[in-house]
Amino acid sequence: MKHLLLLLTLLLVALPAQANKPDFDTYEDAYTIEIVDCGDFSVMDDVLEFGDIKIFYDKDGDFVRAQMIITAFDDLYRDDDPEGVRLSGKAHISGLVSFDENGDELWTQQGKAVAIMVPGYGSLFMDVGRLVYNVHDGWTLIFSAGRQHDWNFGDFEALCGFFE
């Protein structure tokens, strides 16, 4: 009986902390960005992203965090010859939207965020690892682990040369 009362007490204390069931969603986004201006032409990237989202709430139904699995496909080409030579890449990351101790929104991503191989040059654009940004402070990077988390590490001259 003593054990049953202890168990019931523990359950009563634990129940208010119980969260609501998570929601599931998907998303798809397509956009185009300029990768580099090569002088006579620019290298463009048509990006197609797919994501699966799991959204968590507390017992009151308030948002707590969201976990995402994102796959992105890159399709690079010359802006003046979109039907010509192309390069492709594929990225896959896990993302997390959460809050820090001040209530600021954070974005955490880990995985392979950029992966573009250039024939004859190899992996010129590769972003692998973990990044944490403070979204509230204008996407300020607050943690980094991995390698090459900046387009500045890419070899833009070689990319332009590939498309010449």
pLDDT digits over 58-77, tens only? 888 888 889 999 999 999 99
- Interior CA angle at 134 toward 48 and 105, to 5°? 85
pTM for this predicted structure = 0.71
Model confidence pLDDT, tens digit, residues 77-102: 999 999 999 998 888 889 888 888 88
CB neighbours of residue 103 within 10 Å: 7
Where do the structural domains in the chain lie, given as residue ranges?
19-163
Residue 154 · residue 118 · CB < 8 Å: no
User: Which pLDDT score, from 0 to 100, does residue 3 have?
Assistant: 36
Return left, alpha or beta for 10; rule: phi > 0 is left, psi -120 to 50 is alpha, else beta: alpha
Model confidence pLDDT, tens digit, residues 39-53: 999 999 999 999 999
| Adjacency order of strands within the sheet including 23-37 | 23-37, 42-57, 63-78, 81-99, 105-118, 122-134, 140-147
Residue burial 131-149, b: 16+ Cβ < 10 Å; e: rest:
bbbbeeeeeeeeeeeeebb
Which structure tokens are listed for 30? 């397509």
